[in-house]
Amino acid sequence: MAVGLGTGSTVAFLLPALAARNLSIHCVATSPATERQAVDLGIEVGPFDGIGRLDIAIDGADQIAPDGWVIKGGGGAHFREKIVAAAADRFVVIADSSKPVDSLTPPVPLELAKFGLAATLRELGQVELRDAPESPDGGVIADYGGPLGDPAELAARLAATPGVVEHGMFPPELVSAVLVGRGDTVERLTIPA
């Protein structure tokens, strides 16, 4: 089985449980930190190009809206996370009970190209650069802090802005399932079709 592994604190909790099951899986990691932890736990991790199509991708979230929109990328790996999610037959979001929200709120993580950065920032408006190292792929990590309004419209606007490499808004059609931990139980949220 080919598995895409996301990035962040939730995935950091998932990896030991995954390793304990001693499954026959081949994984792709979306960040160097996830890859290091997985390898240290004995999980086989290889290059994405060596695996191709993924059976499943598993990742956390920053916010999960009732309409199925998800904001990800607080850890700055959303560019890779979105590629891996789109390449998987199933993309499963796992989260704790603080992540489902009534409506999405800023910030929305962005990865921006270094070239023309000032022009991109002017075009976007309310964006704050993170005091963080660049992304694993050399991009500038920032947060969009403007109004979200309609998630589909904002996602389209961000995607159409020259200089935006990727944004952290994941549409409902990309998400196969959302599992939320509430104490000792797990709730599966319904994603509208």
Catalytic residue flag (residue 81): yes
**Token pair for residue 183?**
């104490």
Is 109 within 8 Å of 154 (Cβ atoms)?
Answer: no
Q: State the alpha helices, DSSP H only, in the chain.
A: 9-20, 32-40, 78-86, 117-124, 151-160
Residue 189 contacts residue 67 (beta carbons within 8 Å): no
* 42 φ/ψ sector (left φ>0, alpha ψ -120 to 50, else beta): left
Residue from 35, 44, 81, 111 carrying the catalytic annotation: 81
Q: What is the dihedral of CA 9, 16, 69, 168, to 10 degrees?
A: 50
Cα–Cα dist 170/192, whole Å: 14
**192 secondary structure, DSSP code:** P
Catalytic residues: 81
